[in-house]
Chains A and B, each alone.
Chain A
Amino acid sequence: MNRALMAAGLSSLVVLLLALPLIMPLAKLDISLGVTVLLFGLAAASVNLLVGYTRIMAFGNAAFFGLGAYGAALFVQYVMPNFLLAIVVGSIAGLLGALVLAPFLIRRRGIYFALLTIAFGQVFYFIAYRMTKITGGEDGMTVTRPALRLGSWSLGSHETSFYYFVLVVFLLVMLGLWYVIHSPFGRTLVAIGQNEVRVRYLGLNSDRFIFHALGISGLIAGIAGALYAMSIEFAYPLLLDWHQSGDFVMMVILGGSGTFWGPLLGSAIYAIGQNVLSSWTHAWQIIIGGLFVACVLLFPRGILGLSMRPRADIAREDEVYEPSAAPSAAAKAEAP
C-alpha cells in the first residue's frame, strides 16, 4: 500500500514538473520561477543531506552555492562562453569549497560546528565582495547565458527549453542523491545522525563520513549555483551570504528535514511565496521571517516530516559526540 502510494506520488510530481511551463502562466507566474524552485530545491537538498540525514548543523551551504554561481559566471566571462563547461566548473568550485572548509569543520560538532560553518561560509562572501575588478564587487556581475549546444542541437535562450534542461539535471542529481542515501554509505550517515557515539563504537570513523558528506553537499550546491547564475544571468555576493544559507536551511525544515522530497517542497513554498508576497507588500520579509519563526516553534518536523517516524529531536547529552572531548562534558553525563 505504501509502495503504491509512493509510486503515485512520485509520478504525479514528475507530471507536475513536466507540465509546469503550462501551469505557471495560468497563475501569472514566469517559468523562470520554476527554474528557481528546482535549483533552490537542489541547494536545499544539499543542506538536507547534512542537516536532515546526518543531523549536523550546516549553516553555510550558500558558500558552495555561491561558489558554483561565481565559478560558472567567471568562466563564461573570462575563459569561454561554453555553457556545459561553465556548469562543470561551477560544480567543481562548489565541491572544492567544501573540501577546503571540511578539515576545519570536521573537528567540531553541535553549535561549534554551526558557528564554524557560518563563519567560514562568509569568507567567500567577502572575497566576492572585495574583488571588485574581477567579480564586480557589491554590484555583482552580469553574464550572458551561452547557448547550450549538444552536437547539432542547440538549446536557445528560450526560457522554457532552459527550464526543461534544468529539470533533467535536477532529476538526475536527485536520482544520484537517492542512490547515495540508500547506499551503505548513506545508511551510515543516517546512523551518525541517530547516534554518532554508537557509530564510532561500531568501529567507524565518523569524521571521514562527515567529510565525504560535506563534499557531496558542496558538489550538489555547486551544480545548483552554477545553473542559477546561468538562469538569472547574474552572480552577486549575497548568494554567498549566511542569510542565503539560512534560507536554504529553512526550506529544509519547512518541507520536512530528513525527508527526500522535503527540500523541493520547502523551496517551492519559499520561492513562490516570496515572489507572490513581494508583489503584494514591501514588508514581505516580515512575513517570511514570521513563517520561519512559526515553523520552528509550531511544526518543526515540516510538512512531509509528519509522515515519518517520530523523531528523537532532543539532543541527549550523552549522545553528542565531541571529537576531542574534554572531561567536564562527562560531568553532565551519567554518574561515573
Chain B
Amino acid sequence: MSTSVGARSLERADGANGALLEAREVSLSFGGVKAVDGVSISLQPGDLQAVIGPNGAGKTTLFNALTGYFMPDSGEVYFRGQPITRAPNHERVRMGISRTFQTPSIFPELSVAENLRVGINSQSALAQRFRPLSLAQRRALDDRIDELLRFVNMRKARDRVVSLLSHGSQRLVEIAMSLSVSPALVMLDEPTAGLAEAEADRILSVIRDLHARLGLTVLFVEHNMRIVSALADTVTCMNRGRVCARGAPAQVLADPTVREAYLGTEEIAAV
C-alpha cells in the first residue's frame, strides 16, 4: 500500500491567499457570555500552530466553532477557500478537517481495531453498506488499520477494548481515528492533558510525525509550554475570548500580556 496516511493533504492546498483554514472575526456567545469574541485565525498548508491561554479563554469553543460543533453567532470560516461557516460537522470532516476532544472521544466498549474501522469505512464510502465486505475489502481494511496503528505505535493493542486502555493510549487511538479519515487539517484539543511526561512525549512525537512525515496541517490547544515550544511554528494566545498575542513561540511566551493572562496559574512557571 503506497498511499501514505496523509497523502491527500499534499494533493490540494488551494484557497483564498493559499490559506487552508481561515476564520474571520468569529464570535460565539453562551447566554450572554461571549466565549469567543471576534477571533481571526489563519493556517497555511503545512502549518503547525498552537493555541494557548488560561482556562475559560475560549480555546475549545473556538475549536467547536471551527469544526461545526456549534455554529458561530457571527464571523466566517473558510476551508480551502470554501465557506464552511454553517456547514454541518460531518461535512467539514469530509472536506478534510479532523479533530480530537479534550476528553478522548472514542467508542469505549469496542476494540481498538473496531474503533478505527468506522472512520476507515467512512473514508471508503463503505459505512452505510448492508452487504458484508468482500475478502479484498476486508483485507484492505485490515491493512489500513495496521498502517494507522503502526503510526501511533499501538499495534499490540489492536484487539483490546478501548475503555480498558490507559488515558495516554486512548488519546493515541483517538489520534489514529482522526487520521483514518485522511484529513488535511488535524485539530487536537489538549492532546497531552492529564498525561505524565513520558506519555506526553509519545504524543509529542506523534504530532511531530503528523506534521513532518504526513505533511498534515496541525492546530492544537496546549497547556504544556514545553511541548508548545518544541512543536509550534506559530502560537496564538487567547484570553477572555479574544486573541491577545500571536507569533513565534519564543516571542509569544515572553510577551507580557501573555504572562499577565496566565498570572497566578501554574502554567506560567513552565514558560
A318/B103 contact (C-beta < 8 A), A203-B90, A309-B109 known: yes
Q: Which of A41-49, A139-147, A190-198 contacts B (4 or more CB under 8 A)?
A: A190-198
Distance of A206 Cα from B99 Cα, bound (Å) = 17
Stretch among B8-16, B128-136, B205-213 lining the A interface: B128-136
Q: Which chain A residue has the least Cβ–Cβ distance from B59?
A: A336
Chain A residues near B118: list those with CB within 8 A.
187-188, 191, 199, 202, 204
Residue in B31, B69, B109, B123 whose CB lies within 8 Å of A331: B31
Whether A334 and B102, one on each chain, are in contact in the complex, defined by CB atoms closer than 8 angstroms, is: yes
Q: Does A4 contact B (CB under 8 A)?
A: no
Q: Is the CB of B88 within 8 A of A194?
A: no
Q: What is the bound-complex CA distance between A203 and B184, given in angstroms?
A: 13
B55's nearest neighbour on chain A, judged by CB, is A335
Min distance, Cβ A49 to any Cβ of chain B, angstroms = 13
Partner of B101, one of A188, A312, A318, A336: A318
A30 within 8 A of B: no
Contact B93 A200 (CB under 8 A): yes
| Bound: A194/B106 CA distance, A | 8
* CB proximity to A under 8 Å, residues B11-69: 28-31, 35-36, 55-62, 64, 67, 69
- When distances are taken between beta carbons in the complex, the residues of chain A under 8 Å from B126 are 184
- Residue B85 at the A interface, CB < 8 A? no
Chain A contacts of B98 at CB under 8 A?
201
A310 to chain B, nearest CB (A): 7
Chain A CB within 8 A of B121 CB: yes
On whether the beta carbons of B110 and A191 are closer than 8 Å, the reply is: yes
Stretch at the interface among A108-116, A224-232, A263-271, A322-330: A322-330
Contact B177 A180 (CB under 8 A): no
Q: B236 within 8 Å of A by Cβ?
A: no
The answer to whether B130 and A336 have CB atoms under 8 Å apart is no
Given A183-B132, A316-B103, A325-B70, 18 additional A-B pairs, CB 8 A: A183-B129, A187-B118, A187-B121, A188-B128, A190-B107, A191-B118, A201-B90, A201-B99, A202-B122, A203-B93, A203-B122, A204-B122, A204-B128, A327-B30, A336-B35, A336-B56, A336-B59, A336-B60
Please give the residue numbers on chain B whose beta carbons come within 8 Å of chain A beta carbons, in ascending order.
28-31, 35-36, 55-62, 64, 67, 69-70, 88-90, 93-94, 98-99, 101-103, 105-110, 114, 117-119, 121-123, 126-133, 161, 163, 177-178, 180-181
Interface CB pairs A-B, < 8 A, 23: A179-B132, A184-B130, A185-B128, A187-B117, A190-B107, A195-B105, A195-B106, A201-B90, A202-B180, A203-B181, A204-B90, A205-B88, A206-B90, A209-B128, A212-B128, A316-B103, A327-B28, A328-B31, A330-B61, A330-B64, A331-B30, A334-B101, A336-B36
